[in-house]
Chains A and B, each alone.
Chain A
Amino acid sequence: MSWIDWMVLGVTTLFIVAYGIWKSWGASNLSDYVLANKSMKWWTIGLSIMATQASAITFLSTPGQGYDDGMGFVQFYFGLPIAAVVLSIVAIPLYHRLKVFTAYEFLEKRFDLKTRGVAAILFLIQRGLAAGFTIYAPALILSTVLPWDTTWACVVIGVVVTTYTVLGGTQAVSQTQKLQMGVILAGMVIAGVMLVLKLPDNISFSNALGIAGKMGKMEVIDFKFDIESRYNVWSGILAGTFLMLSYFGTDQSQVQRYLGGKSITESRMGLLFNGLVKVPMQFLILLVGVLLFVFYQFERPPINFNKTSTEVVQKSQYADTYTQLERNYSAIHARQRAALQAWDEALDNNDQAAVEQKQAEAQSLDENLNDVREKAKILIAKAEMLEAGESVAKYEEAEAYLLESQLLNNANGGVDSVRLKKARATMEELKDKLKRDSDRIFLTFILDHLPVGVVGLLIAMILAASMSSTSSELNALGTTSVVDIYKRMLVKDKDDGHYLNASKGLTIMWGVYAIGFSLFADQLENLIQAVNILGSLVYGTILGIFMVAFFMKKIQGTAVFYAAILAECIILYMYFFQPKALAFLWYTPLGCFAVMIFSVIFQKFQPKTEAREINDI
């Protein structure tokens, strides 16, 4: 990065942080600190909700997802507008009327303390881990840009975010998020426009989308109902609605955003604003990923987008093999570029036969490129294992036998089928360990192809996104720890100043915890999916508790408490022992329905008491 980029990055980031602290200075009691004294207007709430959800992961991983898998991921968000409407009708008026600080406080009013406790603890575990991911994502960027490793980058980012969140509380979080969303939206628009401008002169925007379509990247909508498929219309609308209801209705990092609203109207409009703009926004971010894919059809991309991993393999015993793979990759890429150019010309000339021939050629070459990329990833995995002091002998042996069996097959026989099966299984095991590099595709494009100044702004955009979601998370974790656990269960009847200080102290503690977890985040799969999977494991249970609270008037605390414990055990069993049985999006409705059904069953064994309904509290 040039000094101009550094200046843009530094000035933008410092201005946002300073503005947030200035606007929020002087919170004198817990209500000011946690709910921003209920003074927020709807546009601040709306942008704050968007900024909380749209983390750096969104802007790093989503274009990568578009590049690798196409546009289908947008279906994941179809449940959001539906959830926004349901929550505006049911939850927001209730939370406002009860004047709660956290969503879990409502559960004690409706049920009992232990149910409030279990929901708060599930939230703290899940959101604490997710905060680690949201710190890791920008740390990944800084470690590519700066001569730092990811560990130090995690520590520096974590400390900056924790500092302004602790100093200014909810007000600082929301005020910074307004500016952060401005930078984010400007950055994405600039990135999209630059990508289109960087396409070859003879490739129009429409032709670029045509190329992406022929390469299987433009299947936005899939109406086929398949419970094992991660993204289709039905999983988005049905399962997605449950996930979004849970996220926006019961996750304190979101609930706290609209609890700070001046009135029910301001809170509702903030949430509905997000319901209106989120799906188109995700569509456009994925489209940037698809355009990146087209751009890299004409500009030779690195064989692997993870520069650190590439350096490891280049210093290993596999360096020569890797160089050979790079040469093959370049040769195939050049042929594919020529095929696509010819396809584009044939399209302009209306030569249908040539269109079909060149399209088939380009698709076949694309498969070859993917094969080479996978071979490179296998080399990288082995090189990284060697660097970590692990043995790769069994993988070498399996690879050698697979090669030998091919030769034996060609010579008509002599293949040991048991050994062949074992070798294939060993290689599958290695492939499961391969790191996805899609999180770094967008970043590589920014650093390698954009002009001075714009690079700094886009890095500032990704940092802003990360800081905005992390600050909401730390803010909510600190609030829940104090309001639902510390003040309610551990240290009661102290003055307001004591709880204000406790809130700041616990926010610092969560910051340290999130930084610690972020140091291990690179061991996990593609970032955005990891966060979503993590959410799906607990959101169903929490949502189930709230659904019972809202809609099942006769169910009382003890029944719903045990139902929640049993439902969570089932979800964890499904994930760890039956992972292929169900796509992760379905864990939320499964957990939710399990809590509701078990609550009804357990209630039958409870002594009959006077029901405490919503209208009574």
Chain B
Amino acid sequence: MSKPEENQDEELRKVLPFFKTWRSLYIFVIAELVVLIVLFYLFSNHYA
């Protein structure tokens, strides 16, 4: 990992300590989208 990216990760940890790296925050954002799509699908099936 490049030096500037490591500095960025360090800065992130100061603001959001439960995310160690930017990559983990990116994964969290995409995972939320996947979970929402699954929930919406179940929601559609239940009521439609």
Contacts and interface: CB of A to CB of B under 8 A. Distances in A.
Nearest to A275: B29
B37 A213 contact: no
B33 A82 contact: yes
Interface string B9-37: 00110011000001001100110110011
11 contacts: A78-B37, A82-B30, A85-B30, A88-B26, A209-B47, A210-B47, A212-B47, A213-B46, A219-B44, A220-B44, A275-B29
Contacts of B30: 81-82, 85
Nearest to A86: B26
A229 interface: no
Contacts of A78: 33, 37
Contact of B41 (A221, A269, A272): A221
A88 to B, nearest CB: 7
Contacts of A233: 37
A218 B11 contact: no
Given A78-B37, A213-B47, A265 B25 contact: no
Contact of A265 (B12, B32, B40, B44): B12
Given A93-B4, A265-B12, A276-B32, 16 more contacts: A74-B40, A78-B37, A89-B22, A216-B48, A219-B48, A220-B41, A221-B40, A223-B41, A264-B8, A264-B11, A265-B8, A265-B11, A268-B22, A269-B16, A275-B29, A276-B29
A93 B46 CA distance: 44
Given A84-B29, A272-B29, A279-B33, A220 B8 contact: no
A84 B22 CA distance: 13
Contacts of B4: 93
B40 A283 contact: yes
Interface string A513-531: 0000000000000000000
Contact of B15 (A213, A218, A219, A269): A269
B45 to A, nearest CB: 9
Contact of B43 (A81, A218, A276): A218
Contact of A272 (B11, B25, B36): B25
Contacts of A93: 4, 8
A405 interface: no
A42 interface: yes
B29 A263 contact: no
Interface of A: 42, 71, 74, 78, 81-82, 84-85, 88-89, 93, 209-210, 212-213, 216, 218-221, 223, 233, 263-265, 268-269, 272, 275-276, 279-280, 283
Contacts of A218: 43-44, 47-48
A530 to B, nearest CB: 26
B9 to A, nearest CB: 10
B24 to A, nearest CB: 12
A218 B4 CA distance: 47
Contacts of A280: 36
A283 B43 CA distance: 12
A46 B4 CA distance: 23
Among B4, B26, B46, which residue has the most Cβ atoms of chain A within 10 A? Answer: B26
Among A71, A81, A82, A276, which residue has the most Cβ atoms of chain B within 10 A? Answer: A81
A36 to B, nearest CB: 19
A95 to B, nearest CB: 14
Contacts of A42: 15
Contacts of B46: 213
Nearest to A216: B48
A233 B46 CA distance: 18
Contacts of A212: 47
B41 to A, nearest CB: 5
Given A263-B11, A264-B8, A265-B15, A88 B22 contact: yes
Q: Which 10 A-B pairs have the closest CB atoms?
A: A213-B47, A218-B47, A220-B40, A265-B11, A81-B33, A85-B26, A221-B41, A220-B44, A218-B48, A213-B48
B13 to A, nearest CB: 10
Contacts of A283: 36, 40
A389 B39 CA distance: 53
Nearest to A42: B15
Contacts of B36: 279-280, 283
Given A220-B40, A221-B37, A89 B26 contact: yes
A81 B32 CA distance: 9
A268 B30 CA distance: 15
A580 to B, nearest CB: 27
Contacts of B26: 85, 88-89, 272
Contacts of B16: 269
Contacts of B44: 71, 218-221
B43 A220 contact: yes
Among A74, A78, A265, A276, which residue has the most Cβ atoms of chain B within 10 A? Answer: A265
Contacts of A223: 41
A407 B43 CA distance: 47
B6 to A, nearest CB: 13
A88 B24 CA distance: 13
A567 B32 CA distance: 35
Among B4, B11, B37, which residue has the most Cβ atoms of chain A within 10 A? Answer: B37
A556 to B, nearest CB: 27
